[in-house]
A and B are shown apart, each in its own frame.
Chain A
Amino acid sequence: MRHFLILLRRDLGLLLGGERRGATLLPVLFFLAVAMLYPFAVGPDAPVLARTGGGVLWIAALLAAILPLDRLVEPDLELGLFDQLALRGISEELAMTARMVAHWLSFAPALLLAAVPASALVGIDGATLQTVEMGLVAGTPGLAALGVLVAALTAGLRGGAALGGLLVIPLAVPLLVFGAGSLSTGGEAGIALTAAFSLVLVAITPFAAGAAIRSGRS
């Protein structure tokens, strides 16, 4: 547990700026920019905007979550960090768990806050906003896990970052289907399924990502 907290503190420090200031704000600004551009693209038709706005927020959230994909695992692999941790008896699984939690903390809370002004930009009402927020609470842990998983799998590959972005999108489809689908039915079943899929991803990511890093050594 002590090791976990030390790793989490480091990962959070790196993801939340330090090296590149403004990197924290980037996913949020990106998210708001998509929400802002959307009405320009489809025109000022209030009923259309209100009907589709929630789904657009979901897509914007998905894209914002994969923005920092290339600096989730790759830089530390090049530094030899995981080798040094392994020599100290700290497993790759623990390191990946810390990375996953840090990644979620670095974008999700800010995104949930930004969803409020974004909902005004796409013109959705309070009840829909509530469903979007609940869906995002259920879905963003899964997006964070997916990001770490794909980043670990593609680390060390040439063009890994571009490939990673492409790999995340189809894997995120279930989250999007259930999460954004909960908007049209207004039901809690969609959110529950989103949460279930998130939990599965959160549960397998540390092991799959850890195994990817170990197999990358040979």
Chain B
Amino acid sequence: MQACRLTANNLACQRGERLLFRGLALELASGEALQVKGANGIGKSSLIRILAGLLRPLVGTVERAGSVGLLDERPALDPGLPLGKSLGFWQRLDGPGDAELAQLGLSGLLEVPVRYLSTGQKKRAALARLLGQEAPIWLLDEPLNGLDTRGVAMVEELVAQHCAQGGIALAASHQPIALPGGAAIDLADFTA
């Protein structure tokens, strides 16, 4: 995996009339992982979207070297299509990735329409999409939501593998998650 980098300087985010956080800076190099902690509504998802380039910060800059893979609460899989076809669309866009469907516990579900999948299964399917994208920078918004204990262990292992291969992972989660290096920031320290 090519060298990647994610840098943010002096970020501030405003939603509506409310200033969510300010003065936030972070720097992640190849192989590093970071957990963003904070209570509900503190701006974790907004931070993820700013880092992904989908939302403009009020002030501050974000620099990314390497493509970004985003995992959030929306799986971006067509609810009416069988899981296999739904993932097939992303495979055609991203090229044949090395997502191990068996490892994700999805191999028996390829014929099942996405809307019949449980929350945890949808999360696993979204992980398959993320793995297939082979993006060096992972931005994970509440990656553990809806997953059982084995699923949690699986996500932690996938993130560890990703970082071992030189990728970056940033996970916003209010739950404890074991990331390589164990670095964490708390958004409460940056509230206005």
Q: Can you name the residue of chain A whose Cβ is closest to the Cβ of B15?
A: A218
A18 touches B80 (CB 8 A): yes
Contacts of A45 in B (CB 8 A): none
Contacts of B55 in A (CB 8 A): 217-218
Kindly state the separation between the CA atoms of A19 and B78 in the bound complex, as whole angstroms: 9
B76 touches A81 (CB 8 A): yes
The dominant DSSP class at the A interface is helix
B81 at the interface (CB under 8 A from A): yes
B74 touches A79 (CB 8 A): yes
B70 at the interface (CB under 8 A from A): yes
Count of CB-CB pairs between chains A and B under 8 Å: 59
A20 at the interface (CB under 8 A from B): yes
Contact flags B100-114 to A (C-beta < 8 A → 1, else 0)? 000000000000000
Contacts of A20 in B (CB 8 A): 80
B133 at the interface (CB under 8 A from A): yes
Kindly state the separation between the CA atoms of A184 and B135 in the bound complex, as whole angstroms: 60
Contact of A14 among B53, B80, B133 (CB under 8 A): B80
How far in angstroms is the closest Cβ of chain B from A155? 14
A83 at the interface (CB under 8 A from B): yes
12 A-B pairs (CB sep. < 8 Å): A14-B78, A18-B80, A79-B74, A79-B77, A79-B78, A80-B72, A83-B70, A86-B53, A87-B54, A217-B49, A217-B54, A218-B55
A residues near B (Cβ < 8 Å) are: 3, 6, 10, 13-14, 18-20, 78-81, 83-84, 86-90, 217-218
Known: A13-B81, A18-B81, A19-B81. 18 other contacts (CB 8 A): A3-B93, A14-B78, A20-B80, A79-B74, A79-B76, A79-B78, A80-B75, A83-B54, A83-B74, A84-B129, A86-B54, A87-B67, A87-B68, A87-B69, A87-B70, A89-B67, A217-B54, A218-B56
